[in-house]
Chains A and B, each alone.
Chain A
Amino acid sequence: MNDKAKQARDAKERYTPGVIPYAKMGYYEPDYVPKDTDILAVFRITPQEGVDPVEAAAAVAGESSTATWTVVWTDRLTASENYRAKAYKVERVPGSAEQYFAYIAYDLDLFEPGSIANLTASLIGNVFGFKPVKALRLEDMRLPVAYVKTFQGPPTGIVVERERLDKFGRPLLGATAKPKLGLSGKNYGRVVYEALKGGLDFVKDDENINSQPFMHWRDRFLYAMEAVNRAGAESGEVKGHYLNVTGATMEDMYERAEFARDVGSVIVMIDLVIGYTAIQSMAKWSRANDMILHLHRAGHATYTRQKNHGISFRVISKWMRLAGVDHIHAGTVVGKLEGDPAVIAGIYDTLREPRTPENLSHGLFFDQEWAGLRKVMPVASGGIHAGQMHQLIDYLGEDVVLQFGGGTIGHPMGIQAGATANRVALEAVILARNEGRDIRTEGPQILADAAKTCQPLRAALDTWKDITFDYTSTDTVDYVTIPTAA
């Protein structure tokens, strides 16, 4: 009786028309224990001056779930306490005066099964423009098994991709055809042929190669396939070219993908800018057509790079593993593009492992179980060359596509020689690693030895010996593992 009376009084207070703090509306529950089926998110919040961090966290929880700015009586027609997202933990970011990590739990039924568009409309819908927070970043998510199971995932996955390509035990090698723009279809195919004949497994269209006046997409597909098949005949290997099927509409993309399939390509490519729904459509199409699906992350750095605002790339990686791509560009550590080693390690694990345990020093805030979803092959691309082969393999492992664009096509002895240099360097480092040698320290010697019987590698090592991109990363981890004294 007493309880009932109290409930009635609470409800009266809660639903009195007007504006009350989000925390009071039930979006902050410090005692809440997340359920196994909850979707969890951790946001980095920078509250406006004078805004209490707990209230800011509750506001984020509210705005990314059921709330609006004022009290609405229609909440009372729902089991609203279930639908409210709950900020259950708010902590100051280590070493920061103004940033907080807000942990928020969402009930599974807030989301449509198998739809990244629906998930993101909630989580990054309105809330990122919300005034009480100066800046907001979605750092990480825990996707429950019940939710993971509603997604198809990668159409092919690392295991089947390797079996289909008959390539095991080493990273795959690729290159982006250069120059990015302006080549005719026939000239473009020449670049593809030379690189594949020299020893690469894949060549790639660049993200903005679609169907421009200098080269319509059908021209490109036809000449690229001539190159792929010729190089296959010269080597006895399965070769591929990522035919970029990105287009203005889904109809265009399906038309291009179907043509790629009909001319015998093993792989097609899309850009992240086509949007989550289009990506899921292409994933479904690829599964139905035995196609490897390569995703170029065009545009991501506009919202992943700055640490205080946007979405971390590890979250994008999780979404893309759900949505279903086979390849995704995920950083090189040593190349020309952004990439802190610890952050990259966390992202690579997210893409490749059957489960990833919480590991704050790699930026992983939650245990994540992938429930049999296939593995995504990360792609390392941008400003890397043969002389870094030992570092790349040491950081990134063997289940990765290493793409040397300039490092192949810019080789002083030609594209074939550039490709051969990369392949020989790759095989030599893997051979040495398997023999138990420490490639991190002995790498330069291993490469120099391999170059004794490979002139193109010698030339590559000489040309790019001092090229490194040593800048501080902007996206770094907040928790540093301090090695305990041995």
Chain B
Amino acid sequence: MGDAAPATPPGSRRIDLRTLYADSEIGPLLAELDNDLVGLEPVKRRIREIAAFLLVTRAREQLGLSSGAPTLHMAFTGNPGTGKTTVALRMAGILHRLGFIRKGHLVSVTRDDLVGQYIGHTAPKTKEILKRAMGGVLFIDEAYYLHRPENEKDYGQEAIEILLQVMENQRDDLTVILAGYRDRMDRFFESNPGFRSRIAHHVHFPDFADAELLSIVEKLALQAEYRLSEEARVALRDYIVQRRLQPNFANARSIRNAFDRSRLRQAMRLVEIGAEISADDLVMIEAADIRGSSVFANSLPKSSP
């Protein structure tokens, strides 16, 4: 219809960011991020920044200010078990609620899912994964394995080219998050400037401090209806110090596994007692359940019996 609205000077049009924020319902997602994840303060700050940026992008769009389709691809760097996948899941939710992706699911892959074994195998595999990720987030863990500089004929290059093309041309259809160790990702970006230029947000996930790992276990225990005795807590502190020194330390993942194994030891201990036991016994993790770990056996040169 041609009902000409009275011309408003562009600078004076208004939009309520709070309403926009409330309507998008990202508040609860950010709150969950805060409550469910121990530590990770710099990460949470970065995620809030990105969310704010996306919200403002939406507001600019609604007031007719140029924004273009923003580049949303991200790199999550950090050691294993620092929460990259968990945060990526939340990020998919945020992007979805703000309308930057249509469906909000996360497809998590590694090199093997994208790269084939023989000629002509890679393109269909990569495209298949991309089609599944359409409308959501494609999370590529240890993305640097796609690039094998030592092998010129490596099929990974084919996957990289397809990915780059989609990241550029179908920004509306999906968001890509590349993840892995920080140093390796840096080298990967150096040798693949195409990726570097298409990544809008770099988020680094620091290792968890000892105290944070401890509170992760306490949180897990609470959820599973277990309790740690005072001695167990001390043992766990020792455990964390020792475990960090050993190979394949994976932050929260290692500590979660340690907790699971302590439950097994507790169960064995209770069965061996064989007598009548109380609910408290069933709930309590004792120091022995922690100290039984091979982490201690290998690290402490104890005098042999």
In the complex, A touching B (Cβ < 8 A):
no
A residues bordering B, Cβ < 8 Å?
none
